[in-house]
Amino acid sequence: MPADGAPPGEGLLGFAEAMDASPAETAPAPGPELHLLTFVLGREEFGIPVTQVREVIRVADITRVPHAPAHVRGVANLRGRILAVVALRSRLGLPAAEPTPRSRIVVVDLRGRVLGLLVDAVSQVTKVPEASVVAAPEDVRSAEADYVTGVARWQSRLIILLDLEKALAPTE
Amino acid sequence: MGDSENPFGELLQDYVLECLPLAEQVADAFVELERRWREGDPADTLLTSLAGRLHTVKGNSAMMGLVPMRETAHALEDACALLRQQPECRNDEAASLLVAGGSLLVDLVRDASAELDPAPAARFVERVRQWLAAGGAPAADTQPERRRAERRGAEAPADPDKAANVVRVDFRRLDAMLEVLGEGLIQHAALAEAYRALAPRARAGPELARLDHAVVALEKTLKRLESTLMETRLLPISTVFARFARMVRDTAEAEGKRVRLVTAGGETPLDKAVLDRLSEPLLHLITNAIVHGIEGGEVRRQGGKPDEGSVRLEAAPQAGRVVIRVSDDGRGLNEQAIRKKAEALGQELRDGETVPLRNLIFLPGLSTAERVSTLAGRGVGLDVVAGAIHTLGGTIDVATAPGRGTAFTLSLPVTLAIVRSLIVEIDQERYALPLAHVAETVRAEPEAIREINHRGVAQWRGGLIHVADGGALLGTARGRPEPRRYYVVMSAGGKRRGLLVDRLVGHQDVVVKGLDAALGRPDVVSGTTILGDGRVACILDAVRILEGGRRAG
């Protein structure tokens, strides 16, 4: 439901709606494929390499950390391990939203750093031909959003590819 | 991650683990030799005692095919052999050759890898060769080899009986064991909580009594396991102290000063996790002492002090904590300059009231004034040191006397891993407060706390203390209708302050877990932990809260 609250054009990539999703899928691409875990934030679909994903969990108790950066939702107990949970919406500059029953925490492993990403919903693991990926438009890339590595246009879906290591670089 | 899959990588790790301490001991002994020779002591025993360690490093390096290390150790052996035979060669030049070689060896071993740059070792080997030649030594390569072969028989390895009872364990295994113990403690807390909830409703009987007994017994067992494990993690603090001997010499030399390092209490045990994070702040303090504290020889003579300055590094256990003192016999802190600088930084120094020096010197941006400018880049902010000590749950204090020296006193927990804490609740969130910093908990009677200058103040033990609102401090208070019911008096480093909380939940041994870098460096939180009910709680940094007031208002 959170998606419906966002007014049109408020997404990270308002342009994505305007892009034509059809041309890239004229022929089934035989080339190399990307294995992505895709999830939803607002009205947009995002993808990260499945190799970075450890597991997807339901949203449990998240303890607030005083004076942590705004995009940090808090910390949670992942089987005895402390998991820092990042509200990916705020990190990507989307309007904040309270977790719903569909919300999930995607646990990622970025070269040994384990973090949780709070997302509105997880869609699925998708294989996307590398050839279907186009660069994000200039104005988006040059802005703060240098963590968008491209957009996959595949089977009438637009999947925004994220570089999590850039998006979640340690805060000083 | 990839490294551990490489068998050579693991061997290399073992090599570093074994050889680095040896190389460091050798290097430190060279520094000591230099000092003793200057004092006219031939130090025969020390010189001879090095041979075994040097030889082990050489042998292990050869086994690993690490040529630069092998060659460096070999050259040092040759140099030592000559010096043993010809005491007249024990001069400054020989000493600085050894010291340089020792440092090189430590660096090489520390960065051991197959792709090591061989050039520095080659240069050193050449330097030794020339020195041997000039010293009238026999041709560098043949005869010493034979002498070494003869000597080998005499160098028995360290006490074999003792070695038989020692197992080398990767520290990460101890960390893993601690994790498991931590889970056990959490599960016990959950069990005890469930028992407490059950007991009033259940009918008293032998089963209930047995359950009560088992819960208590389990706690005792876990405690014993904890203390055994904690002991296993302890290392003597000398393992950190040992690293400083050479560094003191090098820094002093670069400054054109003569400084000796005196250490005491090196046997004091400390958790390795604390030790690992202690060497950086200590290094800062010692560097500061040499660069800023100790005067040049001329000034010292005028002041009636010996030419050679001294930096003392002392450790002692004290009431479950470890106290470390870093002191020098230098010029002392320039109090006036510090006060001026603090004022320039906008620090209010109220008239008629002397703000203690220790409240100023650890302020961010306050490097010790004008002396820093003459030594570009050397001014290490004491705020950084204090921050590092606070992160370890420690405190730092300073005392200084003009012309007589400066002493920094650090008090640190023996172990970081498990902290007995008071669990409190503020605005529905639970927090752990380390008991070491809790002086008392007090019921907050509505009329007991008065407002003076927008700050809550209460009478406590015949004096007045500032009482801050926990919710305001932690950013959770939003127009509370109900006053909080308790306050916790926290104390550290002579400072006291009350913290208003809603509920006192109980005591728990909490296993300290870290904070991910994504969390930034939250000011008032030193770590996290898992409570009996499985929820995560933040561990509050009492020292920061006591200093703070920045956000507490």
Alpha-carbon distance B324 to B263, whole Å?
11
Contact A77 B524 (CB under 8 A): no
Among residues of chain B, what percentage have pLDDT more than 70? 85
- Spell out which residues of chain A touch residue B521, defining contact as CB-CB under 8 Å: 172
Half-sphere CA count of B357, side-chain side, radius 13 A:
17
Residue A18 corresponds to which tokens in the numbers above? 């305007």
Contact B534 A168 (CB under 8 A): no
Residue A56 CA to chain centroid, in angstroms?
13
Alpha-carbon distance B452 to B449, whole Å?
10
Whether B397 shows a pLDDT value over 70: the answer reads yes
- Spell out which residues of chain B touch residue A77, defining contact as CB-CB under 8 Å: 530, 534-536
Which of A152-156, B80-84, B369-373, B503-507 has the weakest average pLDDT? B369-373
3-state SS class at A57: strand
- Spell out which residues of chain B touch residue A84, defining contact as CB-CB under 8 Å: 515-516, 518-519
Strand order in A113-119's β-sheet? A53-58, A104-110, A113-119, A81-87, A72-78
Top-confidence residue, B154 or A117: A117
Top-confidence residue, B109 or B480: B109
Whether B164 shows a pLDDT value over 70: the answer reads no
Task: Taking residues A36-65, report their average pLDDT.
Answer: 91
Q: Which of A51, A59, A67, A109 to mutate to test the interface with B (most CBs of B within 10 A)?
A: A67
Whether A29 shows a pLDDT value over 60: the answer reads no
Grade residue A40 by pLDDT with cuts at 50, 70 and 90: very high
Alpha-carbon distance B362 to B396, whole Å?
9
pLDDT of residue B321: 84
Task: Taking residues B421-445, report their average pLDDT.
Answer: 91
Residues of A with CB under 8 A from a CB of B: 61, 63-69, 72, 74-77, 80-82, 84, 86, 111-113, 115, 168, 170-172
Task: Taking residues B353-379, report their average pLDDT.
Answer: 55
Whether B515 shows a pLDDT value over 70: the answer reads yes
Core vs surface per residue B445-454: b (16+ CB within 10 A) or e: eeeebeeeee
Q: Which of A51, A78, A82 to mutate to test the interface with B (most CBs of B within 10 A)?
A: A82
How close A51 gets to chain B, by Cα (Å)? 14
Q: Output the average pLDDT for chain B.
A: 80
Write down the pTM of the prediction: 0.57
Contacts of B185 (CB under 8 A, 6+ apart): B222, B226, B418, B509, B511
Grade residue B41 by pLDDT with cuts at 50, 70 and 90: confident
pLDDT of residue A62: 92
pLDDT of residue B348: 58
pLDDT of residue B316: 92
Contact A67 B183 (CB under 8 A): no
Which amino acid is present at B372? V
Show the domains of chain A with their CATH numbers.
2-167 (2.40.50.180)
At B292, give phi and psi (nearest 5°): -100, -30
Residues B232-250: tens digit of each pLDDT: 888 889 888 888 888 888 8
Topology annotation, domain B418-547: SH3 type barrels. (2.30.30)
Core vs surface per residue B287-302: b (16+ CB within 10 A) or e: bbbbbbbbbebeebee
Residues B87-135: tens digit of each pLDDT: 888 888 888 899 999 989 988 888 887 777 888 899 999 999 888 888 7
Ranges A157-171, B426-440, B477-491, most confident: B426-440
Residue A161 corresponds to which tokens in the numbers above? 């590819």
Task: Taking residues B132-157, report their average pLDDT.
Answer: 47
Contacts of B292 (CB under 8 A, 6+ apart): B330, B368, B371, B372, B375, B378
pLDDT of residue A50: 92
- Spell out which residues of chain B touch residue A105, defining contact as CB-CB under 8 Å: none
Contact A115 B518 (CB under 8 A): yes
pLDDT of residue A19: 53
First to last CA, chain B: 46
ipTM greater than 0.90, yes or no? no
Top-confidence residue, A72 or B172: A72
- Spell out which residues of chain A touch residue B535, defining contact as CB-CB under 8 Å: 61, 63, 77
Alpha-carbon distance A19 to A153, whole Å?
9
**CATH class in words for B235-413:** alpha beta
Residues B262-317: tens digit of each pLDDT: 999 988 989 888 888 888 889 889 988 998 889 988 889 998 899 899 999 999 98
Among residues of chain B, what percentage have pLDDT more than 90? 15
Alpha-carbon distance B279 to B238, whole Å?
11
For residues B101 and B79, the answer to whether their CB atoms sit within 8 Å is: yes
pLDDT of residue A87: 92
pLDDT of residue A141: 56
Instruction: Give the number of other Cβ atoms within 10 Å of residue A161's Cβ.
Output: 20
- Spell out which residues of chain A touch residue B538, defining contact as CB-CB under 8 Å: 63, 65-66, 75
Beta strand residue intervals within B137-275, DSSP E: 234-236, 259-264, 269-271
Which amino acid is present at A131? A
Judged by phi (left if over 0) then psi (alpha if -120 to 50, else beta), residue A90 lies in alpha
Domain B2-164, second-level architecture: Up-down Bundle (1.20)
Task: Taking residues B413-427, report their average pLDDT.
Answer: 86
Q: Which residue does chain B place closest to A113, by CA atoms?
A: B516
Put simply, whether B515 touches A (Cβ < 8 Å) is: yes
For residues A112 and B1, the answer to whether their CB atoms sit within 8 Å is: yes
Alpha-carbon distance B36 to B30, whole Å?
10
Which of A16-20, A107-111, A161-165 has the weakest average pLDDT? A16-20
Whether B480 shows a pLDDT value over 80: the answer reads no
Whether B25 shows a pLDDT value over 90: the answer reads no
Residues B371-391: tens digit of each pLDDT: 443 333 344 578 778 877 877
- Spell out which residues of chain B touch residue A82, defining contact as CB-CB under 8 Å: 513-516, 528, 530, 536
Domain boundaries, chain B: 2-164, 171-233, 235-413, 418-547
For residues B212 and B394, the answer to whether their CB atoms sit within 8 Å is: no
How close B473 gets to chain A, by Cα (Å)? 9
Element holding A48 (H helix, E strand): strand A44-49
For residues B386 and B402, the answer to whether their CB atoms sit within 8 Å is: no
